[in-house]
Structure 1
Amino acid sequence: MAAVGRDVGADLRDAGVVPLGAGEVHKDIKIAASMHGQPGPSLEDAKLRRPLVIEIIEKKFECFRKEMTLNIYGTLSFATSAGISGALANFIFRYCFKVKHDALKTYASVSALPFLATIVADKLLLTDALYLDNISEENCILRSSLIGIVCGVIYPSGLAFSKNGRLAVKYRTVPLPPKGRVLLHWTMLCQTEVKAMAIPLIFQTAFGILNGLQKYAAFKKKLEKTVHED
């Protein structure tokens, strides 16, 4: 048997095949296992890219948050000025009609409704119009000024007039108007004091112009950033 083994080994060496020893086989297995355990280039690239992608997303989210915060603060300031204008209009008409009833109810409604109306109008006529219709800067300023005048002066004045006028008729704090001269009667009652509404009119117009400029500047900045990234 030993002679046969030696003959087979000699034949293998003559054929160019060198049999491996146990140590060499074990070494090859270790090398193969270590190569199998090492991460490939694609996995390493993915590990390197992951923090970079997360950083880019965080930066974009931070920019978006700042823009949204700026827009929200501008809209809330605009709406707050309309609410203050409503409170002033309510005070003027209550003084004109000598009304002393339901003060909290009238102040709450005349302040809150212009506030909400300004937010809705600003969202629909300015923000959505900018991002959907791409309106011009002049158009944006004009719309914002009209929102300030309508929602911050005309609407709260009419609201305060109607609410306090009803209370004046209900509690008879002022003489009732004669037939056929209702509008003239109410106008004569408050024509002097209502001139004070010129102050919020000027203020709301100026505030509307500033709000329009700020909204358009924020829109252009975001548009340029989007084009630059593309």
Structure 2
Amino acid sequence: MAAPGSKAGADLRDAGVVQDIKMAAYLHGQPSPLEDAKLRRPTVIEMIGKKIEYLSKEKTLNIYGSVFLGTTAGFSGILANFIFRHCFKVNHDALKTYTSLTTLPFLSTVVSYKLFVTDALCSGKISQENCVLRSSLISLVCGVLYPSALAFSKNGRLAVKYHTVPLPPKGRVLLSWLLLCQTELKAMMIPLVFQTFAGILNGLHHYAVFESTLEETERED
């Protein structure tokens, strides 16, 4: 006759075996940490791909807006330099003046547009009206006023240096030179009008493309 203690011990072992089988079956139905990582990996890769695509679109927007206005500002600088060289009858240092009047307006436009339009758009701090206003002001200031003033000062100094025009009276240099160039200065109305419209259209387009890109990215996320 079996002892009661032996029978109780056997029952306990049987119960433990059954419990181990149930636990193994439960764990078999649940994904392991390794399987979990394998399942999450494609999702993470997809999210990273979407972020890279968004950043590339953002970079394209920055290049499109700033380089377009910078290029038109460079052409305005060339026109301004040609006008003032003709007014002051300057024939010296042509390469030097044309190089500076092309590169400086271009660089100032690109940097200003990135700081005041593209970065502000990416941070969500400006509205559509503000974006258009900033774009048009940058186009006007960096694309017309700055190259005109730069060409006026550079060629004026060359005129004084090489005595290509009579020296104006002391205290009336600016007024005399403006009177000398007043007829040719009317030609700068062409880039003035063009740069204003280019800034407005570029700001509208940049904001619209940015909004559509942002909505598409949020919808995919």
- Partners of 1:68 and 1:41 lie apart in 2 by 40
Give unmatched runs, 5+ long, in structure 1: 1-10, 18-37
1:101 is matched with which residue? 92
Q: Which residue of 2 aligns with 1:224?
A: 215
Q: Which amino acid aligns with 1:200?
A: P
Report 1:79-228 matches (<5 A): 79-132=70-123, 134-225=125-216, 228=219
- The amino acid across from 1:181 in the alignment is R
Q: Secondary structure at the match of 1:177?
A: coil
The answer as to whether partners of 1:126 and 1:143 remain within 8 angstroms in 2 is yes
Q: Is the 8 A contact 1:85 1:200 kept in 2?
A: yes
Q: Write the letter of the residue equivalent to 2:64.
A: Y
| Aligned 8 A contact 2:75 2:102 in 1 | yes
For 2:50 and 2:123, locate their aligned partners in 1 and report how far apart those are by CA, in whole Å.
25
CA distance in 2: counterparts of 1:79 and 1:180, whole angstroms: 35
CA distance in 2, matches of 1:150, 1:194: 16
* Structure 2 residue aligned with 1:54: 45
TM-score with structure 2 length normalisation?
0.79
Work out the CA distance in 1 between the residues paired with 2:95 and 2:58: 36
C-alpha distance in 2 between matches for 1:64 and 1:130: 13
Q: CA deviation at 1:166?
A: 0.4
User: Does the 8 A contact of 1:122 with 1:147 survive in 2?
Assistant: yes
Extract unaligned runs of 5+ from structure 2: 11-27
Query: How far did 1:222 drift?
Result: 4.5
Give how far 1:50 is off. 1.6
Matches within 5 A, 1:34-45: 41-42=31-32, 43-45=34-36
Contact 2:105–2:146 (Cα < 8 Å) also in 1? yes
Q: How many residues align?
A: 199
Q: Which runs of 4+ in 1 moved over 6 A?
A: none
Q: 1:144, CA displacement in angstroms?
A: 0.9
Give the structure-1-normalised TM-score. Answer: 0.76
